[in-house]
Amino acid sequence: MDNNTTKPYLDRMHEEHKQLKERIDKLAGFIHESDIFKGLNRRKQILMEQQFHAMALYEHILAERITIEEQDN
């Protein structure tokens, strides 16, 4: 992607997507590898797992929007 020809909002979407993926990876690591997570009460664990799934869905939607925008350019 040539940043000189992209639309500013598309650049922002790419940056948001990158940051979101990083946060998803960190949360996944915490959920799957952390003793702290294992020590949380079940309700807190469920909420964090639900947050992970919501973030993953958002990431998928954002990626689709980026793809559509890039096809339109």
CA 21 from chain centre, in angstroms, equals 4
Confidence of residue 5 (pLDDT cuts 50, 70, 90): low
* pTM of the shown model: 0.85
Cβ neighbours of residue 31 closer than 8 Å, sequence gap 6 or more: 37, 45, 48, 49, 52
Is the separation of the CB atoms in 37 and 30 below 8 Å?
A: yes
pLDDT tens digits, residue range 13-68?
999 999 999 999 999 999 999 999 999 999 999 999 999 999 999 999 999 999 99
